[in-house]
Amino acid sequence: MATTIAGFFVGCPYSVFALNTFLHHVGSEVQQYKVRGHPGATGVPGIPQFKYYLSVLKGWVDSTFFLRNSWIITIFGFVTCFLWRTKSFIILSSFPLSYIFYMSLQKVNFTRNMICIIPFIALFTGIGIYQIYRFILFVLNKSSFAKQREVLFKNCCFILVFVILTLSFKPITMIQNGYNYLKTYKESRTRATDYIEKNLANSKIAVSKELRIHQNDLDKIKNYVLMGSSTLSEIDLYEEGFAYLLSSDSFLYGGDIADSIEDLAPIGSVLNGGFEVISKDKPNSWQVDPAGDWKVSQEQPYGADRCMQTTQSWSWLWQEVSAKPKRWYAVEAQVRSDIIVEGKGDYDNTFVTLECLDNEDQVIWREWGIVTAFPQWDIRENKIYAPQNTRKIRIKLAKRLGEGSVWFDDVQFMEVSYLKLPKENIVKSFGWGKVRLDLYSIEPKVNIYKIDENFVRAAFK
């Protein structure tokens, strides 16, 4: 125990020399993962969590070899190590067993938590293979040929086992396949712009900025305009002479954005978005985290006389508004911060989060809306597509990380219109994934739409 404690302080000296910062960060992590139910921190502690981690480790072993149920070799090595070298086993297994036991008592169930166990899995797998090799030698050693050619026999057995392991080791094949794949791979947005460059070079193209196409790919298009989908108009595109639109029908929730929807009651709007109406030092119509340090501030507000300030990470200020399902919504807020943005970890310091709630106030979809606040007031926004069964949307504001304060003011909530993209106007499709507005999507589905009379008529259906 003393060695462990000493190792911790040697590896993390700032835990002593910057104790306040260390405790603040530890508290933020505990609050983020254990108190607030961060996604990936919602496992059931105990036996269910233990089974989950065992299944993760089993899957990793099985994915290492072509042999089915390769995990049996690891278990065999684990048991034989205990029977063969008990003292060595206690030393070797003390960390992985205690770590898995400890993690099984937590709500966090990220698979990356088991990465530190991989070296021990490799060791026990190697011990299992070695014991199998010894057993083969023991059995075959009884033959007269083996006794006469002992050295040659051992070498042949070793080579045989080595060849079998090499042929059954997946990473060797996976590395080669991965290398071959990377040499020829082109992401969906790259393939889409390649197609435009080759087949639609002289056409005027509108490009949805939500696709986050790399500038190198955009440069392949001779005549393009980058625009937000929420501001596009079918008629404007047609009248301004755009021939094609590069966009997607899979923003967040795959499926057609143009699905017909029934008329519902008008949506709500943010009340007291400027935080001017105050009761007992709290803004009316807003809920404040009682464990947080939110306060009404008159320090350089954006609008009138007041704004909201917080210095504590993951402490929420929220309000719920009514909403219709299968619609797009956006929240905008003026945000500033005195957090000094220097290192990579200082970016993405603020939350402007949206959550869709059902009739039972359960969260059915969430867009974190992670943004960066700078010293000057600037608008930050987040968008969300409300799935079926949505009845309310919760607007949540918070500081995410960094040393300093974040201020919020002039919060606005609105429904935003998106293009009704007719499937029959798709010229070419690339990719398969959904487009996340708050993250850089991997291999998103990208469509090239022809803009004609039918494209315009779709807006009025």
Q: What is the DSSP string of 307-324?
A: EEEE-SBT--EEEEEE--
**456 φ/ψ sector (left φ>0, alpha ψ -120 to 50, else beta):** alpha
- Give the whole-angstrom CA distance, residue 301 versus residue 351: 19
- Give the whole-angstrom CA distance, residue 283 versus residue 317: 10
In order of 285, 395, 398, the CA distances from 301 in angstroms are: 19, 20, 17
In order of 58, 106, 212, 247, 434, the CA distances from 218 in angstroms are: 44, 46, 10, 13, 20
Centre a 10 Å sphere on the Cβ of residue 94 and count the other Cβ atoms it contains.
10
**pLDDT at residue 239 in the model:** 82
**pLDDT at residue 417 in the model:** 64
Query: What is the rounded average pLDDT of the residues 219-228?
Result: 86
Residue 265: which pLDDT band, with cuts at 50, 70 and 90? Answer: very low
In order of 254, 359, 421, the CA distances from 325 in angstroms are: 15, 12, 19
Q: Which of 37-41, 287-291, 393-397, 417-421 has the lowest mean pLDDT?
A: 37-41
Compute the residue count for the chain. Answer: 461
Question: For residue 364, which amino acid is it?
Answer: I
**pLDDT at residue 203 in the model:** 92
Residue written as token pair 């869709």: 356
389 three-class SS: coil
Q: Are 444 and 435 in contact (CB under 8 A)?
A: yes
| Pairwise pLDDT comparison (233 vs 436), residue with the higher score | 233
**pLDDT at residue 59 in the model:** 82
Q: Which of 126-130, 132-136, 381-385, 421-425 has the lowest mean pLDDT?
A: 132-136
> Which class for 258: exposed (0-12), middle (13-18), buried (19 or more C-beta within 10 A)?
middle
Residue 94 in this model has a pLDDT that exceeds 80: yes
Nearest of 228, 193, 269 to residue 437 by alpha carbon: 228
**pLDDT at residue 73 in the model:** 81
Residue 253 in this model has a pLDDT that exceeds 50: no
Query: What is the rounded average pLDDT of the residues 11-26?
Result: 80
Question: For residue 376, which amino acid is it?
Answer: Q
Q: What is the pTM of this model?
A: 0.47
Instruction: For residue range 162-208, list pLDDT tens digits in order.
Output: 666 665 666 656 666 667 766 777 888 999 999 999 999 899 999 98
Mean per-residue pLDDT over the chain, rounded: 79
In order of 328, 391, 420, the CA distances from 265 in angstroms are: 15, 10, 22
| Pairwise pLDDT comparison (112 vs 147), residue with the higher score | 112
**pLDDT at residue 406 in the model:** 94
* Range list of H helices, 85-240: 86-104, 118-140, 144-148, 150-168, 170-184, 188-199, 215-218, 234-239
Residue written as token pair 């034989």: 80
Query: Which of 18-32, 148-162, 181-195, 284-298 is predicted most confidently?
Result: 284-298
**pLDDT at residue 355 in the model:** 93
- Give the whole-angstrom CA distance, residue 350 versus residue 438: 13
List of residues 6+ apart from 80 with CB closer than 8 A: 127, 128, 131
What residues pair up with 29 in beta bridges, in sequence order? Answer: none
**pLDDT at residue 254 in the model:** 30
Centre a 10 Å sphere on the Cβ of residue 381 and count the other Cβ atoms it contains.
17
